[in-house]
Amino acid sequence: MPDPLKVFDLPAGFEYVVLSSTGERMTDGLSVPAGHDGMAAFTGPDGLTLVVRNHELDARQAPAFGRVGAPLAGVDPAKLYDAGHGRTPSAGGTTTLVYDTRGRRLVRHFLSLGGTVRNCAGGPTPWGSWITCEEAVVPVVGPYARDHGWCFEVPATAEPVLHEAVPLRGLGRFNHEAAAVDPRTGIVYLTEDRHDGLLYRFVPERPGSEGLRGPGRLQALAIRGRPGASTKNAPDTVVPVGGEVAVRWVDLDGADAPDDDLRYRGHAAGAAQFSRGEGLWWGGDALFVCCTSGGRSGKGQVWRLTPGEGRDDRLALVLEPNDPSVLDHCDNVTVAPWGDLVLCEDGPGDNGLVGVTPDGRAYRLGRNAANESELCGACFSPDGTTLFVNVQRPGYTLAITGPWRRVG
């Protein structure tokens, strides 16, 4: 139904609350940064929900702690990953929102990680933290005092804490987009937002938070019998919609990749290419992957990767409509409580939320009625009552409620 306020169109019976908009003063005295992006929601104390949210900003955009070039205010520079020689700190990072789903109100919000760049997406861990990913490979040059292109772990906390930003170097240095953790093994899967990107995984020696910082193997996915294949299905179809192939994993060395060449080396070793791998989410016993520019028409694909547990992992193509009225550049993805996927669109015109059933049927869930900004960070509260989603520009979060059981 059209929203009379021209903010967000939703089906009958649904409604939204706008919260934590760019520039608002947060509980810690800092300002809400712009560039709202990937998110995940966690169980908090006293029935509250904790939402950790990315901000896709670089060194030259206004950070939470003041205007560009101004002295740092209200933060410990030692907690920031890159303080920019004390003059131009990197503006990306994460904020945490504490939300009361019963009262539909924001309890508090605060900066939880700072000094990073272009925090695009990421993924939740089974132990209650968020892996935030830098979608940039930047050397030490100009305003940057440290190299970028890493993942960072952010614990979900109810009380305001600015966590120390420690890069997870084993997860590789590349144009990161999203991450997802297999709760059974602790393996971390990673997408790369490039037209010739790879699908990676980090196999830690020990699962858990300590394992993210410890040794492990970085690998890239390859299709058995089709070394170096492009999964875009253009010009040739590699996997038809509904089709499935066996895959293997190629070991990669030099994960720090100062030349941003992991995808080239992996492809030369047989790894498959994915056209702008972005959204990534673990659901049930499988991983769901969005390729924003995949498909013959470049309008997007959705893949499902099922670990084999003793046999080959399997990669299946769930959706490739090649029709922007059905799906227009899918980006972030989450799994709904009833088992469907919910996709965020990042197309050139209208953008909305698209639901996808287990058998690959797509349907419309909502539409950004305010502008043509992409939607980001769709995730459900642990109690299943609230869908959180971001309108990236100018930057605000929506908390959507309604008869979700009817949708399911």
- Give the three-state DSSP class for 404: helix
Mean pLDDT of 66-82: 84
Mean pLDDT for 22-43 is 97
Q: What is the mean pLDDT of residues 314-327?
A: 97
Q: Of 9 and 69, which is predicted with more confidence?
A: 9
- Determine the length of the chain: 408
Q: Which helix (H) or strand (E) holds 268?
A: helix 262-268
Confidence check: pLDDT of 68 > 90: no
Name the pLDDT band for 1 (thresholds 50, 70, 90).
confident
For the chain, the average pLDDT equals 96
In this structure, are residues 306 and 313 in contact, taking their beta carbons and an 8 Å threshold? yes
Taking the C-alpha atoms of residue 172 and residue 149, their distance in angstroms, rounded to an integer, is 8
Order of strands, edge to edge, in the sheet holding 330-335? 8-9, 362-368, 352-356, 341-345, 330-335
pLDDT at 70 over 90: no
Please say if the pLDDT value at position 231 is more than 80: yes
The percentage of residues in the chain with a pLDDT greater than 70, rounded to a whole number, is 100
Decide the pairing of beta strands 330-335 and 341-345: antiparallel
In this structure, the number of other CB atoms found within 10 A of the CB of residue 339 comes to 11
Q: Identify the band that residue 384 occupies on the pLDDT scale cut at 50, 70 and 90.
A: very high
Residue 116's pLDDT band (cuts 50, 70, 90): very high
Q: How far apart are CA 141 and CA 164, in angstroms?
A: 22
Contact 89, 48 (CB under 8 A): no
Q: Report how far residue 308's alpha carbon sits from residue 288's, in angstroms, rounded to the nearest whole number.
A: 15
User: Residue 60 phi/psi, 5° resolution?
Assistant: -105, 10
For residues 25-39, give the mean pLDDT: 96
Domains and CATH numbers, the chain: 14-403 (2.120.10.30)
Coil, strand, or helix at residue 8?
strand
C-alpha distances out from residue 369 to 8, 211, 320, 351, 391, Å: 5, 43, 25, 9, 10
Per-residue confidence (pLDDT) for residue 408, from 0 to 100: 65
pLDDT tens-digit map of 342-374: 999 999 999 999 999 999 999 999 999 999 999
- List, for residues 139-158, the tens digit of each pLDDT value: 999 999 999 999 999 999 99
